[in-house]
């Protein structure tokens, strides 16, 4: 069977090249699963407080009981924080991979092009104005108001970004970045107005958004964000073949039978749900969405059937690792994750720019 190349590094399934790529992707997935398990165990076992994960497991296996302090540290603090780190990291990385496929550009990232800022603005609106809602409404929607508001903010920002930067089926990189700057500036300005309206308690919550952190992770917040993130994660694989076809251009993808407009709407909803829910519970954590898919594209290629799954695994692992470092490197104080990811992700982003300089005409 002749090998049919549909984009650099990508082949149709069934060819010998596709078989090699499947095996490479499977080995990469296995390695990433092991990495995720390793960082998860380390994250549960390390912290400012003295509570050994392994000793607790041995105690439970022998039928013993944990002390009240150990139970609180492991089951009420570290375990929800770990689960939230896994979900948020996977959501940000998959959102970045979908956006890069949709825009056909490696620079597309929810945090860089204003989608994260839109989601953050939605969350801030919910925090500041949510207190003025009727008590019955607040009681009914409870923890869900912030994730839903962040989803709507991210959704609107993604729609505006796509409409502004795309013309006649072609997306302008310069327009995308400029539109992202404008959206981010507008969201920052509106957020500033809301900050002036906030009381002291709301200001403490809003400070959380400035840096990005998992310090406020609770089972309640996790249960509020998890349905949106898991639903987006479940829908993302259905976009894989359409995103592969879109790499050829919209006209070619349409000739292959891809329902372009329906696929775009689904991609926008997936990105908005995942980014909105992640931003709602963690604040602004940058660079995961751009760095993770780019690194994986180098190792396993641009085929979204493998890229999306591996992005979720690597994004989850990296964010849990970053969270573990941020809460132990200057213990008992804690360094916000957003600062750590910016310090590491900034140089990597510059490297990506330099690596793609020719393609971007920079």
Instruction: For residues 118 and 180, give the distance between their C-alpha atoms in angstroms, rounded to a whole number.
Output: 10
CB distance 277 to 228 below 8 Å: yes
Beta bridge partners of 5: 11
Model confidence pLDDT, tens digit, residues 208-222: 666 777 877 888 888
Q: Could you write out the DSSP letters of every residue in 61-120?
A: HTT----HHHHIIIIIIIHHHHHHHHHHHHHHHHHHHHHHHHHT-TT--TTTSSHHHHHH
Confidence class for position 312, pLDDT limits 50, 70, 90: very high
Q: Is 5 helix (H, G, I), strand (E, B) or coil?
A: strand
Residue 89 is predicted with a pLDDT of: 92
Model confidence pLDDT, tens digit, residues 82-134: 999 999 999 999 998 998 888 777 777 777 667 778 878 888 888 777 666 66
Check pLDDT > 90 for residue 316: yes
Residue 270 is predicted with a pLDDT of: 86
Q: Which residue has the higher pLDDT, 147 or 313?
A: 313
Average pLDDT, the chain: 78
CB distance 264 to 104 below 8 Å: no
H/E segment holding residue 338: helix 337-355
Q: State pTM to two decimals.
A: 0.80
Residue 9 is predicted with a pLDDT of: 41
Check pLDDT > 80 for residue 167: no
Task: Out of 91-105, 156-170, 255-269, 345-359, give the one with best mean pLDDT.
Answer: 91-105
Q: By C-alpha distance, which of 86, 107, 115 is closest to 267?
A: 115
């Amino acid at each position: 069977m002749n090998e049919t190349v549909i984009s650099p590094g990508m082949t149709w399934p069934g060819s010998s090249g596709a078989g090699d790529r499947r095996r490479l992707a499977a080995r990469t997935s296995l390695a990433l699963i092991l990495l995720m398990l390793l960082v998860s165990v380390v994250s549960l076992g390390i912290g400012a407080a003295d509570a050994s994960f392994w000793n607790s497991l041995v105690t439970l296996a022998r039928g013993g009981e944990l002390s009240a302090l150990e139970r609180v540290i492991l089951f009420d603090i570290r375990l929800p924080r770990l689960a939230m780190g896994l979900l948020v990291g996977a959501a940000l990385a998959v959102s970045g991979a979908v956006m890069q496929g949709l825009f056909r550009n490696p620079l597309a990232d929810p945090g860089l092009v204003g989608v994260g800022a839109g989601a953050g603005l939605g969350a801030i609106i919910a925090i500041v104005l949510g207190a003025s809602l009727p008590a019955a409404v607040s009681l009914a929607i409870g923890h869900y108001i912030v994730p839903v508001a962040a989803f709507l903010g991210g959704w609107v920002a993604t729609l505006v970004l796509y409409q502004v930067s795309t013309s006649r089926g072609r997306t302008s990189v310069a327009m995308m970045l400029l539109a992202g700057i404008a959206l981010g500036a507008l969201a920052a300005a509106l957020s500033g107005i809301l900050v002036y309206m906030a009381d002291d308690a709301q200001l403490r919550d809003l400070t959380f958004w400035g840096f990005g952190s998992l310090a406020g992770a609770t089972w309640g917040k996790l249960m509020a964000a998890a349905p949106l993130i898991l639903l987006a994660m479940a829908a993302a694989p259905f976009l894989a073949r359409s995103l592969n076809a879109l790499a050829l251009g919209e006209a070619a993808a349409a000739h292959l039978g891809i329902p372009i407009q329906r696929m775009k709407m689904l991609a926008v909803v997936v990105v908005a749900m995942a980014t909105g829910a992640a931003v709602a519970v963690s604040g602004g954590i940058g660079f995961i969405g751009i760095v993770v898919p780019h690194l994986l594209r180098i190792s396993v290629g641009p085929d979204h059937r493998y890229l999306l799954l591996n992005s979720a695994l690597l994004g989850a692992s990296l964010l849990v690792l970053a969270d573990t470092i941020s809460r132990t490197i200057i213990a008992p104080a804690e360094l916000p994750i957003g600062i750590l990811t910016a310090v590491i992700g900034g140089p990597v982003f510059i490297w990506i720019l330099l690596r793609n300089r020719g393609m971007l005409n920079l």
